[in-house]
């Protein structure tokens, strides 16, 4: 029996077609993609290339029209909404450009939110959130609300929230899009540190300097993978 570890993500001949009345729009065309555990991958492409659609499929926010999506070796292509919700809540950590923090909650409470849905006790939620606040360099900001935090601090809270359920994959959609250059660098250094701790990270970005942090760059054009390059940063 083989001891080979299956990839965390594997897409096989994935197509996505949107039906708008009598019009059918094909957005993704026979995408084959494998992402190994502990990889740091950047997905890039011009507007209309299909990268947002691909991100939604990778994040179990949408289903392929045809083809197969294996997540941690499990085919999730035919799952219903409740099953996909379990995948999203327990196995994927999301980081968004606009941070998506709840304004009336403190930083610590925002980090705890996924654990509330998972039924974790308040004591454990607090302990895990405080550990992550320390990890992202915000141990003294746990009681502050989002409007009291800078953009970089908000994104650090969002990264901590993405880590709270110990996910298989961190999916970051334009994570530095609302940040200045210095803060972007700090956030990408944090992602680099997480990758060095064996986290699997997928970055969706249009910025070359952000993609340069990744081990691998995948280019989309007209719904197809036009380039797939692996870098050696050693």
What are the angstrom distances between the C-alpha of 68 and each of 50, 78, 211?
17, 9, 27
Specify the 3-state DSSP secondary structure of 108: helix
DSSP, res 71: E
176-209 pLDDT tens trace: 999 999 999 999 999 999 999 999 999 999 899 9
Confidence of residue 117 (pLDDT cuts 50, 70, 90): confident
> Is residue 198 one of the residues assigned to a domain?
yes
Average pLDDT of span 46-67: 93
> Is residue 54 one of the residues assigned to a domain?
yes
> Is residue 158 one of the residues assigned to a domain?
yes
> Is residue 20 one of the residues assigned to a domain?
no
Is 0.75 topped by the overall pTM? yes
> Is residue 153 one of the residues assigned to a domain?
yes
Average pLDDT of span 150-154: 96
Residue by residue, DSSP assigns 160-189 as HHHHTT--SEEEEESTTTTS-HHHHHHHHH
> Is residue 193 one of the residues assigned to a domain?
yes
Domain that holds residue 124: 39-60+81-230
Query: What's 109's domain CATH number?
Result: 3.40.50.300
Contact 194, 169 (CB under 8 A): no
Tell me the pLDDT of the chain averaged across its residues.
93
pLDDT at 1 over 50: no
> Is residue 102 one of the residues assigned to a domain?
yes
17-46 pLDDT tens trace: 999 889 999 999 999 999 999 999 999 999
Overall number of domains in the chain: 1
Q: Compute the radius of gyration of the chain from its Cα atoms.
A: 18
> Is residue 3 one of the residues assigned to a domain?
no
């Amino acid at each position: 029996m083989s001891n080979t570890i299956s990839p965390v993500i594997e897409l096989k001949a994935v197509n996505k077609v949107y039906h708008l009345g009598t019009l059918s729009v094909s957005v993704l065309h026979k995408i084959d993609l494998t992402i190994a555990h502990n990889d740091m991958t950047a997905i890039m492409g011009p507007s209309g290339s299909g990268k947002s659609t691909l991100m939604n499929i990778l994040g179990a926010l949408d289903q392929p029209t045809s083809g197969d999506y294996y997540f941690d070796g499990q085919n999730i292509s035919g799952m219903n909404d409740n099953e996909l919700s379990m995948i999203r809540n327990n196995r994927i950590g999301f980081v968004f450009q606009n941070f998506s923090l709840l304004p009336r909650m403190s930083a610590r409470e925002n980090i705890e939110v996924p654990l509330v849905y998972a039924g974790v006790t308040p004591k454990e939620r607090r302990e895990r959130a405080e550990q992550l606040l320390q990890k992202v360099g915000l141990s003294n900001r746990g009681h502050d609300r989002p409007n009291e935090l800078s953009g970089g601090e908000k994104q650090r809270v969002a990264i901590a929230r993405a880590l709270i359920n110990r996910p298989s994959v961190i999916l970051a959609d334009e994570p530095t899009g609302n940040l200045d250059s210095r803060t972007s660098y700090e956030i990408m250094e944090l992602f680099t540190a997480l990758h060095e701790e064996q986290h699997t990270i997928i970055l969706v970005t249009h910025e070359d300097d952000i993609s340069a942090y990744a081990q691998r760059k995948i280019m989309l054009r007209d719904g197809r993978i036009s380039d797939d390059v692996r870098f050696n940063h050693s």
